[in-house]
Structure formats: structure tokens, C-alpha cells
Amino acid sequence: MKKILFAATLALSLLSCKENKPQNEPVIENAVDNAESSISSIAKSDYSRGGNLVQSIYGELLKNDKALQNLDKKIVDINNETHTVLNEYNSVLDKSENYYHDAKNLSGSITDSIAKIEIEKEIQNSAEKYNLKNQTIKDLIKKTKANQSTIYEQYIIFKIRKTLPEIEKYQKAHPLKTDSLDQFINKQNKLLEELKKLK
């Protein structure tokens, strides 16, 4: 009898929990709700594995704002151009560096110690001259990379500042009240009392 009473109470508790769910979904009026509603079920599972709500909300703002779209295009374009420019320089510098590295490795197989010392000195002199000649280029490459990082960081800061008002609008549109939780805790407490009385 006690087991039947317990099972019935448990079933009623579960059903009453389902009844407490709000029937009407809030009207979507802000970028936060739009960002969440535009994510497909596959994307939602991806989002739960590390998606970024700031990026999603910003994407919603981007859809209807020409100025933001233009800014975003500039960021993407400068990033692509940076890669193109750096690849051209790095290709030449890397080949030269690889050459000196390979030449040094090859010289290690020379058994004539005098010839080995002479060729290693020639390799070293050539590498040093090349590095000295291109030090300005290397400094400019370093500056280009630093600028690229700064642009990326500033754009992230901008996105966060642009989306903060949206999350605040969302919070105002979805105020949290204690009523449902209080009622549910009361139900839990009643069930706990019943469980304690069972023997």
C-alpha cells in the first residue's frame, strides 16, 4: 500500500512539474532571441560544444546594419590582405633560412676538418649578411603581425560593447521571478515529508 502511495505521489509530482512550464513563448523582439531562434538543431548542438553567443548576437545585428556590414568587410579584407602580404615575404625568407639550415646539415658530413671549417664559415657569413640586409623587413613583418593582433582584439572589444545592450534588453524582456521555484520547492518538501513518514 505504501509503495502504491509513493508511486502515485511521484507520478503526480512529475505531472505537476510539466504543468508549471509557461504556455506562451515570449515574443522575439531582440537580437538575443533572434540569434537563438535562427540556430538550427545541429548548430545548437555545436553551440553547446563551444559556440559563442556574442558572435551569434553580433551576427543578428550585422544582418540589418549596413555600417556594421561595411566594417566587417573591411576587417575580413585587411585580414586576408595581411596573410597575402606576409606569405610573399615569408616564402622568400623561409627558403633562405631553410637553405642555410640544409647547407649546415650537409657540411656536417664533410670529413676533411679544414674544408668543413671553411665551408661552415662561408655559410655563416652568407646567413649573417642576409639577415643583416633584411632586418628592416623582419621588423616590419613583426609590426604587421602586431597590428593584425591589435585589430582583432579591438574588433572583439567592439563586438562585446555592441552586444551588451542586447543581452540587457533580453534580460529585461525575460525577468526571473521566484514564484515557480517557490511552488516547486514546496512540492519537493511535501514529497520529502511523505518519504520520511514511510517505513
More confident residue, 28 or 69: 69
pLDDT tens digits along 122-144: 999 999 999 999 999 999 999 99
Q: How far apart are CA 34 and CA 25, in angstroms?
A: 13
Whole-number pLDDT of residue 5 = 41
pLDDT tens digits along 150-188: 999 999 999 999 999 999 999 999 889 898 999 999 999
Q: How far apart are CA 64 and CA 177, in angstroms?
A: 33
What are the residue boundaries of the structural domains of the chain, listed by start? 29-176
On whether the CB atoms of residues 148 and 82 are closer than 8 A, the answer is yes
pLDDT, averaged across the chain: 83
Exposed / middle / buried, residue 33 (Cβ in 10 Å: 0-12, 13-18, 19+): buried
